[in-house]
Structure 1
Amino acid sequence: MAEFDYDLFVIGAGSGGVRASRVSAAYGAKVAVAEEYKVGGTCVIRGCVPKKMLVYGSHFAEDLHDAARYGWTLGETSFDWPTLRDNVQDDVARLEGLYTNTLDNNKVEIFRERATVSGPNEITLASGRTVTAKTILIATGAWPVVPDVPGAEHGITSNEVFHLETFPKRVVIAGAGYIANEFAGIFHALGSKVTVVNRSDQILRGYDEQIRDRLFQISTAKGIEFLFNVQFDNIEKKADGALTIHFKDHESLDADVLLFAIGRNPHSKGLGLETAGVELDEKGAIKVGDDNRTNIPSIYAVGDVTNRVQLTPVAIREGQAFADTVFGNKPHVVDYDCIPSAVFSNPPMAGVGLTERQAREQYGAVKIFTSDFRPMRNVLAGKAERSLYKLIVHAETDVVLGIHMISPDAPEILQAAAIAVKAKLTKAQFDDTVALHPSMAEELVLMK
């Protein structure tokens, strides 16, 4: 008889857990995965995928307005939230089915229930059943933070925002990171009065200052209100369901929805990790080495629960590296250098490599090249909104250290440009590349 029930037991069927499961099974391992909610994880079920669909839906508001300048007569238009909401959820269900099929096709056994670690090689399921595994992988992701203030239970997080019964006329968003700015753009475009409340004095900390300042200017011009250096006191729910939000240092606000977007903590609480002796940091993140192994030799972790880089493609890479290393006899580690990222705000931001501040701190003198222009589409539509592209270049070697953009389709353009930054190409090589005209992407090779 086998020493263990499974070669690998994965807790969490999100992007990292699914990749690790199917690849390990393909290598011949006997694999099981436990998921207490839906197969697909945060990104597919209640994160970047449904959010991007809402972004697409919100863009029609401006597109329909601009259509008249392009010769279209559309007549009266209206927006129906339940139609968008339900169509998005239908596609989420479709994707969950595809992820489930992937696991089934690779003969991965799925337990649709909560699982906790009860020993270095033991897992206890919510049903009470106990199973053993030679290797355990934790891939439970992260969870939205809710502030500890009276009445916080009346607010929602990004987990619930996709399921609103009715579309809110007034939305208050707590936080100023990427989730906050993305939903600010979505709700505003679809017709809500949006107020973004932040306890500090800046948005999108960690992104290039010049690019994030441009987003702030554009968002303000659109009508999104920002309150800085403001802290919550309590939230009061009225008889009609509306909210009155009280602050410590600002007058109160009335809202139909309060969305908390103040960060995400590793989802490690209640997993029994302390029982097995797994080390966590002060935020609850599972401590791992470059090989994704914890201090317990049989237990590994990948994705947001490790709080290294909270991005879906990174979790997938970590899941792949784990499977290759542990079951595929192809050991390797993830390279975290030059990871591209995007904010699907309106307009979107995208960046890769060092920001100007980071480059100056690391190298001293750097060269900065920018292109500040009005996209052709905006010109004909009569819109003043301008795009901004930025290249940070090493003063001595001419190597492009970073690219940062805010513009329609910036994320689509940046993916290819990120290859150039990763390959350490020079500004001269950008200049030597013939421009693709007319396009917004050509600005990357025309900066002088």
Structure 2
Amino acid sequence: MAFDYDLFVIGGGSGGVRAARVAAAGGARVALAEESRMGGTCVIRGCVPKKIMVFASAYREGFADARSYGWDLGEGSFDWARFRSRLHGELDRLEGVYRSLLSGSGVTTFDQRAVLDDPHTVRLADGSTHSAKHILVATGGRPERPGLPNDHLGMVSDDIFNLEELPRRLLIVGGGYIACEFACIMNGLGVEVTQFYRGAQILRGFDGEARGLISEMMQEKGVDLHLGTNIVDMAPATADHVASAAVTGGGMAAPAGETSARSAATGGPVWVKASNGHEHVFDAVLFATGRRPNSDGLGLAEAGVGIGRRGQVVVDEFSQTAVPSIYAIGDVTNRVNLTPVAIREGMAFVETVFNGNPTPVDHDLIPSAVFTQPEFGTVGLSEEEAREQEAVDIYCTSFRPMQTAFAGRPDRVLMKLVVSKATQKVLGCHIVAPQAGEMIQLAGIAVKMGATKADFDRTVAVHPTMSEELVTMKAPVRSV
């Protein structure tokens, strides 16, 4: 059977674009459809704009530190409108880069939604159909609201980048990395941030000692964190709500006559009742309570593709679905939801399908970073995970780094190695510190290679640095 294309990719995010480009570079006839903007979540609504906001939010403390170092600086102020304009301009530029990469690789693109008609046919929103020998689903994921009554009054992470103005008082609901990152960002930009998390500690699933330090530092920097707390009710704020919030200790919205910031998602101040009985009024509420794969309405189940309980596309180790001609990569599979992983999965897909070299995706020992303030870099097993598997030695130190200690700030950092007692192999490395993301990328190489504690010890320290502690810790602080 003759097909219009060798590969049709549904989704123009990092993973889909990489797979399309590499397949086309090898001579395949490739098409790609994207219903929103090229670049996907990472470039347009996630990693890139978020990291730029992290940079912006760090300057407030940086200016304060500069004065301690002898620089004569005024107080200054943050201009959200000017920043947002520059941010959107940069995202437009990056989208253009993605489009140029696709066109330069010979990939045919369609700026519209695509769904499956059958295992080899894609139907576009304009009604046209295109056949393909292979179809790759790379549609990513989306933020999910918690299902509370009136939860439409709250924003999700996609909305943050389009705020007309910053809220004066913001509630963030959630304790994962997205919630914590935005809590730090908005706090750094001068917003009064309150964070509710129903669990006992933020950043569930990460190393417990690291989580504890990040929680302490976030509160030290001004985030009003409430653990074991959730929303039980919410509604548009009225004058009675403001009065009630004042009585229960939940605080007030912007004073009368002062303009409250509002977003398209909220439309104005929101009254919230917490699970501890307190009532609050906020200018805006951000739900960071999870994400869901974008698999709805694509015709996948009808074509025979397995869909999991969370909506994820079920694939094997080669990213192939139950339908031999259909593959899926990235967040839509809900395996490891990180941009570099989606790109790796896309490369492995091309190697398997177009280069005749079956290549399973390696999801083991993936370094990652959480861009809280301070940052958190991690690779391998947490202490809690490791001690469930075997006896381990824990090497750990926490201290005040030179730069901020000189400026008189109470900031602390953490350097931690989880080491197998039997083999002395480093099973996990966890860093809480400024630029931890940069450090963990390099430490991740050693851990991935199977380095032992002796390998770390043989490495000469770079002095004076924070990271030198990783190679100078001689005795474990505990064995578990």
User: Normalising TM by the smaller chain, what interval?
Assistant: over 0.9
Partner residue of 1:447? Answer: 473
Contact 1:44 1:95 survives alignment (8 Å)? yes
Given the alignment of the two structures, is residue 103 of structure 1 paired with residue 129 of structure 2, yes or no?
no
Could you give the per-residue CA deviations for residues 21-41 of structure 1, whole angstroms, max 9, x where no partner exists? 001111111110000110001
Partners in 1 of 2:174 and 2:347 — Cα distance?
A: 33
Corresponding residue SS for 1:285: coil
Question: Which of 388, 404, 425 is the aligned partner of 2:414?
Answer: 388
Whole-angstrom distance in 1 between the partners of 2:159 and 2:371: 19
1:9-20 matched pairs, under 5 angstroms: 9-20=8-19
* Structure 1 residue 325 displacement after superposition: 1.0
CA distance in 2, matches of 1:65, 1:380: 12
The CA distance in 2 between the partners of 1:348 and 1:334, in whole Å, is: 28
Question: What pairs up with 1:40-51 in 2 under 5 angstroms?
Answer: 40-51=39-50
User: Helix, strand or coil: the match of 1:434?
Assistant: coil
Match of 1:129 in 2: 128
- Given candidates 313, 336, 340, the residue that maps to 2:367 is 340
Query: 1:204 matched to which residue of 2?
Result: 203
SS in 2 for 1:414: helix
Question: What is the CA–CA distance in structure 2 between the aligned matches of 1:373 and 1:232, rounded to whole Å?
Answer: 36
Which deviates the most, 207-216 or 195-204?
195-204
- The one-character-per-residue Cα deviations of 1:111-160 (angstroms, maximum 9, x if unpaired) are 00011111111111111111111111100001111121221111111111
Partners of 2:54 and 2:149 in 1: CA distance: 32
Cα distance in 2 between the residues matched to 1:76 and 1:361:
50
Alignment partner, residue 438 of structure 1: 464
| CA deviation string 1:300-319 (max 9, x = no partner) | 00000000000000000000
Q: Secondary structure of 1:171's partner?
A: strand
Separation in 1 of the partners of 2:401 and 2:220? Answer: 17
Q: How does 1:334-413 map to 2 (within 5 A)?
A: 334-363=361-390, 365-413=391-439
Contact (CA 8 Å) 2:173, 2:230: kept in 1 or not? no
Rounded to whole Å, the distance in 1 between the matches of 2:225 and 2:40 is 31
Structure 1 residue 429 displacement after superposition: 1.2
8 Å Cα contact 2:38-2:98 kept in structure 1: yes
- For residues 93 and 330 of structure 1, what CA distance do their matches in structure 2 show? 37
What are the equivalent positions in structure 2 for 1:29-428 lying under 5 Å apart?
Answer: 29-238=28-237, 241-363=268-390, 365-428=391-454
Paired with 1:159 and 1:435, the residues of 2 have a C-alpha distance of 42
Task: Supply the AA of the counterpart residue of 2:385.
Answer: Q
Aligned residue for 2:342, secondary structure, equals: helix
Asked if 1 retains the 8 angstrom alpha-carbon contact of 2:271 and 2:282, the reply is yes
Question: SS at 1:99's partner residue?
Answer: helix
Q: In 1, distance between residues paired with 2:215 and 2:297? A: 39
> 1:146 touches 1:260 (CA, 8 Å); kept in 2?
yes
TM-score, normalising length: structure 1: 0.98
Equivalents in 1 of 2:230, 2:401: separation in Å? 38
- Which stretch of the first structure deviates more once superposed, 236-245 or 26-35? 236-245
Answer whether contact 2:415 2:467 (CA < 8 A) is retained.
Answer: no
Q: Which amino acid aligns with 2:348?
A: A
Distance 2:299 2:229 in 1: 37
**How far apart are the structure 1 equivalents of 2:273 and 2:375?**
31
Other structure's SS at 2:369 match: strand
CA distance in 1, matches of 2:232, 2:418: 42
For residue 371 of structure 1, report the CA deviation from its aligned partner.
Answer: 1.8
Deviation at 1:248, TM superposition (A): 4.3
Q: How many residues align?
A: 446
Offset at residue 247 of structure 1 (A): 3.1
Matches of 1:439 and 1:247 in 2, distance apart?
43
Q: Which amino acid aligns with 2:274?
A: F
Q: Is the 8 A contact 1:230 1:250 kept in 2?
A: no
How many angstroms apart in 2 are the aligned matches of 1:164 and 1:431? Answer: 49
Secondary structure in 2 matching 1:163? coil
Taking structure 2 as the reference length, what is the TM-score of the superposition? 0.91
Q: Greater CA deviation, 287-296 or 250-259?
A: 250-259
Q: Aligned partners of 1:371 and 1:90: how far apart in 2?
A: 42
Aligned to 1:345, the other structure's residue is in SS state: coil
Which residue type is aligned with residue 197 of structure 1?
F
State the shift of 1:181 in Å: 0.4
SS at match of 2:158: coil
1:426 is matched by which residue type in structure 2? T
Q: Provide Cα deviations, 1:209-263, integer angstroms capped at 9, x if missing partner.
A: 0001000111111221122233323321247721112234431221111111011
Instruction: Give the secondary structure class of the aligned counterpart of 1:369.
Output: strand
Three-state SS of the structure 2 residue aligned to 1:288 is: coil
1:318–1:334 Cα contact (<8 Å) kept = yes
Q: Deviations over 1:143-197 (max 9, x none)?
A: 1111212211111111111110011111101100000000000011111111111
Structure 1: distance between partners of 2:102 and 2:8: 13
Cα 1:375–1:248, aligned 2, differ >3 Å: closer, same or farther? closer
SS at match of 1:295: coil
